[in-house]
Structure 1
């Protein structure tokens, strides 16, 4: 967002102050907002501003408060978008990792599949059936002896946070 400087705000104030009385009335401010397609009643605007007229200093303070609020809203929206993008990327990476372990593509990781992949990566010794069973049992929430994607995701996210 491009914020206006004091000299720009002073020029804007002069243009809004149609009757040149040194203050901007709610009606004058409402007319400006209508021109930029921000439709608000004079009563609503007075409720926001808290007064019926603004001198230059009050106008600048009002502008600054709106600018801060809009900047915060934009930052929150950007953070939300980044968060959504991060979640999508995390899900994609977990799905790809799941595919590496799901050797027969049946949607589950069995103890045997886990052992084969971990052996390929050099993360497990040859006689480690018990270790694989323990890993499966620890995260097998429905006790079917294998991990589905949600159980795998839980396992990976839990291990990543430790």
Structure 2
């Protein structure tokens, strides 16, 4: 389920897509993309070759054009996939029944990874990213740490 913020961003991307889709065919060519970057990129420009490379790398159906889904991936990146990977990593550090990374669970995971740390060292590591000062890392704090 998308949050309101993600929906708003998606609507902005769709609006930009329609503006870049010069002929209104629901697709953006490399030339359209080049032109669009020129008018929306605040002084930015890309060569036709660069635009062609972008289109080629994101073109999901092989027609040499960017459809709406391709354009969304270009504009929003793979944030959903990235967050999923971070969430999986976060889960590895949790102890059963916990929703936070504790000094003890961090010590255990680091030990599994071949890095021996004391609980005090783990407390210090956690304190560097513990934004709310509760002594543990929640998922949002872990995401900040990973970025």
Q: TM-score, normalised by structure 1?
A: 0.48
Change (3 A) 1:132 1:70: closer
5 Å-filtered alignment, 1:6-155, equals 68-69=31-32, 72-73=35-36, 75=55, 78=70, 80-82=72-74, 84-125=76-117, 128-155=118-145
Q: Which has the higher helix share?
A: 1
**Displacement of 1:130:** 1.9
- Listed as ranges, the gaps of 5+ residues in structure 2 are 1-22, 37-50, 56-65
After superposition, the CA RMSD in angstroms is 3.0
Change (3 A) 1:82 1:124: farther
- Listed as ranges, the gaps of 5+ residues in structure 1 are 1-36, 39-65, 158-162
Alignment correspondent of 1:61: none
Q: Is the 8 A contact 1:99 1:105 kept in 2?
A: no
Alignment correspondent of 1:44: none
User: Cα deviation per residue 1:21-76 (whole Å; 9 max; x = unaligned)?
Assistant: xxxxxxxxxxxxxxxx97xxxxxxxxxxxxxxxxxxxxxxxxxxx98336655958
**Displacement of 1:79:** 5.4
Change (3 A) 1:70 1:145: closer
Larger Rg: 1
**Displacement of 1:124:** 2.0
Q: Is the 8 A contact 1:108 1:146 kept in 2?
A: yes
Give the length in aligned residue pairs: 92
